[in-house]
Amino acid sequence: MALSAGSCRASVLVVDDARDAADSTAEVLTLHGFRVRVARGGAEALLAVAADPPDVLLVELLLPQPDGCEVARRLRHGGRVPLLVALTVCGTEWDHRRAAEAGFDLLVAKPADPRALVALLARLVPD
């Protein structure tokens, strides 16, 4: 599925303390028309969601405190919940179970294929 720039108005918050990973994911999504912000950690993500809730959160599980699972738990407990997608370099059964228990909707292994990620989000998030 190929989206053209400007074809999607969904907002995405990319949460990753690995600057290159966060910035490259944000760039790919922006090029495909998503409105993207980046948070460098869990605390920053929670503040960003409180200020302006996105449609989607892409959250690295292995963040410094609070980690990605704690971010998901707090968001699930606290009100409006966007689509929560866990990102991780680990993709074990334990990671999948842990992410699901925390409230994530999906888990995507890193590095995520940019085309697959764009297609996934375009399919799951209404304009």
- Give the tens place of pLDDT for each residue, 102-116: 999 999 988 889 999
Give the full edge-to-edge strand order of the sheet including 106-109.
35-39, 11-15, 56-60, 83-88, 106-109
- Identify whether 38 is part of a domain: yes
pLDDT digit string (tens) for 46-104? 999 999 999 999 999 999 889 999 999 999 887 667 899 999 887 788 888 999 999 99
- Identify whether 101 is part of a domain: yes
Q: What is the dihedral angle through the alpha carbons of 20, 122, 91, 44, rounded to the nearest 10 degrees?
A: 50
- Identify whether 1 is part of a domain: no
Domain count, the chain: 1
Count CB atoms within 10 A of the CB of residue 95: 18
- CATH number, domain of 112, equals 3.40.50.2300
For residue 107, what are the contacts with CB-CB under 8 A and spacing of at least 6?
Answer: 85, 86, 87, 88, 91, 95, 96, 99, 100
pLDDT at 91: 72
Mean pLDDT on 9-25? 94
pTM recorded for the entire structure: 0.89
Please state at what angle helix 42-51 crosses helix 68-77, rounded to 10 degrees.
Answer: 30
- Identify whether 62 is part of a domain: yes
**54 is written with which tokens?**
């996105």
For residue 116, what are the contacts with CB-CB under 8 A and spacing of at least 6?
Answer: none
For 114, the domain range is 11-124
- Identify whether 77 is part of a domain: yes
Phi/psi-derived region of residue 94, left when phi > 0, alpha when psi is between -120 and 50, beta in every other case: alpha
Q: What one-letter code names the amino acid at 115?
A: R
- Identify whether 3 is part of a domain: no
- Identify whether 5 is part of a domain: no
